[in-house]
Amino acid sequence: MPRLLLLLTLSICYTSATPLKIVTIGDSLTDGYSEVARLAEVPLLGAVVGDRVYPEPDSPNPDGNVRAFNWPELLAIFRPNEADFGPTGEWGDIDDTFFFPLPSGDLRFRGFQKNFAVVGTTTLNWTSLLTSNPVDDGSFPLNLFYDATKSSLLTQLATADVVVIMLGGNDLKNAYSDIFNAADPSPFLDPVRTRLETIHAAVRAENASVPIVVATVPDVGATPNIYQIYNTPALQATTRAHIAAMNQAIITTFEAKPNTSVARVDRLTDLAFDLDPFHLNGTEFTIEGDPYNPPDHLFCKDNFHPGTAAQALIANEIMLAINTRIPGAMTPFSHREILGSVLALDPDQPFIDWAAAYSLAPDSFDLDSDGDGLPNGVEMLFGTSPVTSTNSPTGRWEPGGGLTWNINEDASRYIQWSAEESPDLDSWTDVPMSRLILTGGTATATPPALERSFFRIQANPAP
């Protein structure tokens, strides 16, 4: 889809001949989805989990959907010159012991060498692992293998360029009923921040200068798996408020620590709660999972783990947080890249569908099909017909006057637009918000106090 403007900026940013060595400490949100999918291959265990492994579509898979990818995988695939999670390999194993699969050695089993994420773990598990207090955290048999995992982690921390700590989702999941129903859930929420501090301190003790990113905790109440059960509106609202307060405490705590930044992963679950319909540039997503994990569903088929689109948004929050410590080190995904390159969807599908309703070509965004002076993209924005002549914005662009036009809400999700003015038809600037009023689906712009001024609307597909 063509662009009408090119904006060039010059800034001083991070450049490096080698990608950042990123060490992660996390749970199933960070554990490589490819390794989760391979659980179905484990003897005996595979017979139990089978097609229920959440990143994998059910079989048969009639639409040929690929498995879901998580944020380290997405960075490894699409940002290999910026992010280095180490080689993939075998770091532990699962043995058949007494005819039951049990872990041995490093808890991670397989995956990226620098990715220390273990399915099902909590902040308590990781606090115990890092503080050599494995006996009393109640995590048998995981605690039998803490030492090997810790030894591997300390080796990687010594040479890390960035450490990302992303934990707490399982803490909330395991205690969600108590949090939801308690008048005071602080006994369940406050320890999460405290244990994240302990984990942060353990990392800092091993590497005094490494930048550390601490992620806020996703509000698991936004997952279909939980909100379909805990759906009393008043309690939902208070639970959200309590979890938001916990996350604000996390933000305040870690932004005050040296060389530490916070990744706002909670923004994604807020969007899942509040953005209706959930969309990227007008391409709508279904929140609930599907047995075949299609790319336009926000959650995997288990209705708890984020699908590829959601993981790409998580990746953006991680990259933005890294950039606050190492400016320019990472390139966040644009929505068009997520839709096109990552999900193999057409990022221009909203316009294609709109144009098809008028029998117009899919690449006709900049064409004026009915000769009324409004390109088709602007007609879509205004909610007018591209094949029947339409009046331009109504009113007068003169002192004391103003121009008014309608904005189609659905179209504005796909189209990025601006109202611009110029004294000479050469230099253009945005109409200041003090002279641009947006009320519902109506926009009104008033001119500056100049002898002469010109007006235009600039519309482009959203980036």
Q: What share of the chain has pLDDT > 70, as a percent?
A: 90
CATH number of the CATH domain containing 380: 2.60.40
Q: Which pLDDT does position 15 carry in this prediction?
A: 47
Question: Dmax of the chain from CA atoms?
Answer: 90
Whether residue 347 lies inside any domain: the answer is no
Whether residue 110 lies inside any domain: the answer is yes
1 has pLDDT over 80: no
Q: Which pLDDT does position 5 carry in this prediction?
A: 32
Task: Give 83's pLDDT tier (boundaries 50, 70, 90).
Answer: very high
Examine the domain organization and report whether 412 and 323 are in the same domain: no
Q: Which of 234, 218, 224, 220 is nearest to 183 (CA)?
A: 234
Q: Which pLDDT does position 89 carry in this prediction?
A: 87
Q: Which pLDDT does position 38 carry in this prediction?
A: 82
454 φ, ψ to 5°?
-120, 155
Give the chain's radius of gyration (CA, Å).
26
Q: Which pLDDT does position 132 carry in this prediction?
A: 74
User: Greater confidence, 377 or 9?
Assistant: 377
**Three state DSSP letters for the chain:** CCCCCCCCCCCCCCCCCCCEEEEEEECCCCCCHHHHHHHHHCCCHHHHHHHHCCCCCCCCCCCCCCCCCCHHHHHHHHCCCCEECCCEEEEEEEEEECCEEEEEEEEEEEEECCEEECCCCCHHHHHHHHCCCCHHHCCCCHHHHHHHHHHHHHHHHCCCCEEEEECCHHHHHHHHHHHHHCCCCHHHHHHHHHHHHHHHHHHHHHCCCCCEEEECCCCHHHCHHHHCCCCCHHHHHHHHHHHHHHHHHHHHHHHCCCCEEEECCHHHHHHHHHCCCCEECCEECECCCCCCCCCCECECCCCCCECHHHHHHHHHHHHHHHHHHCCCCCCCCCHHHHHHHHCCCCCCHHHHHHHHCCCCCCCCCCCCCCCCCCCHHHHHHHCCCCCCCCCCCEEECCCCCEEEEECCHHHHHHEEEEEEEECCCCCCEECCHHHEEEECCEEEECCCCCCCCEEEEEEEECC
For the ranges 2-6, 178-182, 304-308, 391-395, the lowest mean pLDDT is seen at: 2-6
What pLDDT digit, counting tens, does each position of 120-134 carry?
999 999 999 998 766
Task: Give 144's pLDDT tier (boundaries 50, 70, 90).
Answer: confident
For the ranges 43-57, 301-315, 374-388, the lowest mean pLDDT is seen at: 43-57
For the ranges 2-11, 45-54, 232-241, 377-386, the lowest mean pLDDT is seen at: 2-11
Residue 331's alpha-carbon distances to 79, 82, 315, 316, 336, in angstroms, are 8, 8, 10, 8, 14
Whether residue 8 lies inside any domain: the answer is no
What value does the mean pLDDT take over residues 394-415? 94
What value does the mean pLDDT take over residues 279-294? 97
Examine the domain organization and report whether 188 and 108 are in the same domain: yes
Examine the domain organization and report whether 237 and 367 are in the same domain: no
State the residue range of the domain holding 429.
352-461
19 has pLDDT over 90: yes
Whether residue 5 lies inside any domain: the answer is no
Examine the domain organization and report whether 286 and 367 are in the same domain: no
Examine the domain organization and report whether 385 and 284 are in the same domain: no
Q: What share of the chain has pLDDT > 90, as a percent?
A: 81
Q: Which pLDDT does position 13 carry in this prediction?
A: 42
Spatial separation of the C-alpha atoms in residues 50 and 39, rounded to whole Å: 8
115 φ, ψ to 5°?
-95, 105
For the ranges 22-31, 147-156, 284-293, the lowest mean pLDDT is seen at: 147-156
260 has pLDDT over 70: yes
14 has pLDDT over 60: no
Task: Give 93's pLDDT tier (boundaries 50, 70, 90).
Answer: low
Q: Which pLDDT does position 395 carry in this prediction?
A: 92
Whether residue 357 lies inside any domain: the answer is yes
Examine the domain organization and report whether 258 and 358 are in the same domain: no
Q: Which pLDDT does position 139 carry in this prediction?
A: 72
What value does the mean pLDDT take over residues 87-112? 71
Whether residue 12 lies inside any domain: the answer is no
Examine the domain organization and report whether 329 and 388 are in the same domain: no
Identity of the highest mean pLDDT range in 95-109, 332-346, 386-400:
332-346
User: Greater confidence, 425 or 39?
Assistant: 425
Task: Give 40's pLDDT tier (boundaries 50, 70, 90).
Answer: confident
Q: Of 288, 318, 342, which residue constitutes the final position of a domain? A: 342
Q: Which pLDDT does position 106 carry in this prediction?
A: 84
What value does the mean pLDDT take over residues 77-82? 98
Examine the domain organization and report whether 289 and 154 are in the same domain: yes
Whether residue 300 lies inside any domain: the answer is yes
For the ranges 1-5, 94-98, 322-326, the lowest mean pLDDT is seen at: 1-5
CATH number of the CATH domain containing 77: 3.40.50.1110
Q: Which pLDDT does position 4 carry in this prediction?
A: 35
Examine the domain organization and report whether 258 and 169 are in the same domain: yes
The DSSP bridge pattern shows strands 100-112 and 88-97 to be antiparallel
What pLDDT digit, counting tens, does each position of 362-375 carry?
999 999 999 999 99
Number of domains in the chain: 2
- 139: tokens are 């995590």
- Residue found under tokens 């080689």: 87
Q: Of 310, 342, 374, which residue constitutes the final position of a domain? A: 342
Q: Of 342, 373, 404, which residue constitutes the final position of a domain? A: 342
Examine the domain organization and report whether 167 and 256 are in the same domain: yes
Q: Which pLDDT does position 191 carry in this prediction?
A: 97
What value does the mean pLDDT take over residues 402-418? 96
What does pLDDT average to over the chain?
A: 91
Whether residue 13 lies inside any domain: the answer is no
Examine the domain organization and report whether 337 and 364 are in the same domain: no
37 has pLDDT over 90: no
Examine the domain organization and report whether 191 and 308 are in the same domain: yes
